Structure 1
């Protein structure tokens, strides 16, 4: 950009755009100082740096009178430009190279440990051969082999007597002496091994530390990229980041709509875990995403566009076929079938959340009892599920300990 002189201040150049209610004007740094000296009501954060605005439309928009969430989004979008992302990627490249080098060191470390193990094993074997006079034992077999193919009962019997006495000597006094000797040998060798390996696998520990750093960086990097999903992020404590995106993508794809936001309408830790509190929050609402955590620690749930009506006492049909059950634990989604679309959800104030005819998922009003017969209205044939009755919750009854419900708002 060519520098343009300020007509008010000689030697200064126009750097900013000041947007006012009545007019918009170009100003220089001297103009800014004058405004500050005059104590005029000027929001300097709203000044638009011309040079930057010419390169970044998101920066320009962020300075205008937009809703706070859009301003935050545009500021974040402007912050992570090609240069900053390339620096992050370069940092990843360095971390990966460090991990690769450490992996080589870990292999050498393991190779050394294996060698030392075999050396100590040989030491134990040598000591064992001494205390049991192993050469004598091998001699018994050698004597038998000298007989060849001939049958000599007297020679075999003599050998057996000698062998018997040999074994009796080893296990005399109920093997007390043998046990004590073995204990002394093993303790001595273990102590020697401990002295040589005061810090075992240091390179492996370094590798674990590097993996933890890398994982942390990857999560931060993904969070930065997630600003593109800022308006559609599910603020769930039960769902993982990748699975949040998968659910969002599934809902958007099935309904062919853009998700604007998720409104939390029910939280068991706040509202209580009962059928009464459940219906007080969901009655008359549609497009609900429900997330459950069972006593077994399984995370699962369901989405349906259907309207939840407390006094309906009947099934609700989903002609869009966009209803589905899901399991984060198994990383699976179970879509509503064509044949099951008339039984997408079941509304009855005596029940809790219920999906499918024959109850693909039925959670009672106490959120403990219920059942899951996955495969009736919701498809499970694409997965090999042996115990489908416990597949979702990890047990024969749901035993829900946490529940989150969000209403999906579309643009």
Structure 2
């Protein structure tokens, strides 16, 4: 059994804390920590570490060290490792939700089967009633006789005459026949005591599947946060969690795991112009663009293109997988590439445009990153009832870009 160590200053208190100083560290108890705080000096407790946390959360030590690599410092500020129990609890919640969804699906299948069986039974009953009232058997017998008359003209004429009389009688008694069919159908329904056919709500089905899709993205995000490399590039435009949602969405739409992420362009660093951008992206593929606009509201949006950016093409690049998409962080919306427009995912012409998504410029950003337009909804799906599509992404008539980041996705 592990023995507890007692403070040398306050011998009745157990050592529970580690207080790092500039070039050393001091072991302390609760009384030591309380003594650091008085009316004259206020002490921040951010750098005081609990001993029992250090083993499971070593990043807490790194976060207080001086001269830590900037990339790691930035990463540490944006997220901390999720405790093991928390990720297990998250998975258990997701598993329980999925089990409930599975039960709901099983029940949905039973309900549809019942409704289908009832619809088939009603259809079969209706056919029997119609055959009876129309005396279809008489007609079938006449047709068989016609087929078996062996070319005897007089017999053929007699049969055709009987068929003619059959249809004349139907026409003469059509109103009465229809009434009989309806009445017999109603009586049959009463005898069967059938239930009204009520199909499951389509909106509820769609909502359930969307919820499960989102739960998978959430779980992917938690797992990625545990396994993500400290050297992985981070966006300075969107929060870490949203960046992970985009990466999870790319994996989901391409059905491929992401192996590596490279940040290949930052507008404020490399130059916010078409020439600087294309010097970084030309002949690369699977690129994720993130933009921030200077328009009122500082709209944040972007897009992922699963195709090669060939600046010498001077034409459309195709995404045969139709996995490309446009997104709006500001609106919290995803606009997937339409299947019928997969041949025009992006336009490649480095001297004509900085970025051009879609056949008619769902995203159209000119070489100066200021001018351009947006006709969202052309090649990328968009609910046209939500507002004016020319300003929907940008928050203004022009993109007026303040910052742009481009990530290369390796799968």
Judge which range, 92-101 or 156-165, deviates more.
92-101
Aligned residues: 324
Residues 1:21 and 1:76: Cα distance change in structure 2 (over 3 Å): same
Query: What is residue 82 of structure 1 aligned with on the other side?
Result: 84
What TM-score results when the alignment is normalised by the length of structure 2?
A: 0.57
Residue 166 of structure 2 corresponds to 166
Measured in 2, the distance between the counterparts of 1:141 and 1:303 equals: 66
Aligned partner of 1:213 in structure 2 is 211
Name 2:233's counterpart in structure 1: 232
CA shift for structure 1 position 105 = 3.0
Q: Is the 8 A contact 2:289 2:405 kept in 1?
A: no
Who is 1:94 aligned against?
Answer: 96
Partner Cα separation in structure 2 for residue 68 and residue 126 of structure 1: 81
1:13 touches 1:28 (CA, 8 Å); kept in 2? yes
Pick closer, same or farther for the CA change 1:124–1:113 going to 2, 3 Å.
same
2:87 partner SS: helix
- Could you tell me which runs of 5 or more consecutive residues in structure 1 were left unpaired when the two chains were aligned: 267-278, 293-297, 307-314, 316-324, 333-344, 356-361, 369-391, 395-399
Match in the other structure for 1:287: 280
1:52-201 equivalent positions in 2, closer than 5 A: 52-64=53-65, 70=72, 73-74=75-76, 78-141=80-143, 152-172=152-172, 196-197=195-196, 199-201=198-200
Secondary structure of the residue aligned to 1:6 is coil
Q: CA RMSD in A?
A: 5.5
The answer on whether the counterparts of 2:139 and 2:163 sit within 8 Å (CA) in structure 1 is: yes
Q: Is the alpha carbon distance of 1:304 and 1:206 closer, same or farther for their aligned partners in structure 2, counting shifts above 3 Å? A: closer
C-alpha distance in structure 1 between counterparts of 2:162 and 2:87, whole Å: 81
Kindly state the Cα deviation for residue 164 of structure 1 after the two structures are TM-superposed.
Answer: 0.8
8 A contact 2:16–2:30 mirrored in 1: yes
Aligned to 1:25, the other structure's residue is in SS state strand
Whole-angstrom distance in 2 between the partners of 1:226 and 1:76: 14
Aligned match of 1:330: 322
| Deviations 1:158-199, CA, capped at 9 Å, x for gaps | 3322221221232349x6776777788889999999972364
In structure 2, C-alpha distance between the alignment counterparts of 1:328 and 1:406, rounded to whole Å: 26
Distance 1:160 1:136, change over 3 A: same
Aligned partner of 2:42 in structure 1 is 41
User: 1:156 deviation in Å?
Assistant: 3.3
TM-score normalized by structure 1? Answer: 0.57
| Cα 1:35–1:263 shift into 2, 3 Å | same
Q: Which has the larger radius of gyration?
A: 1
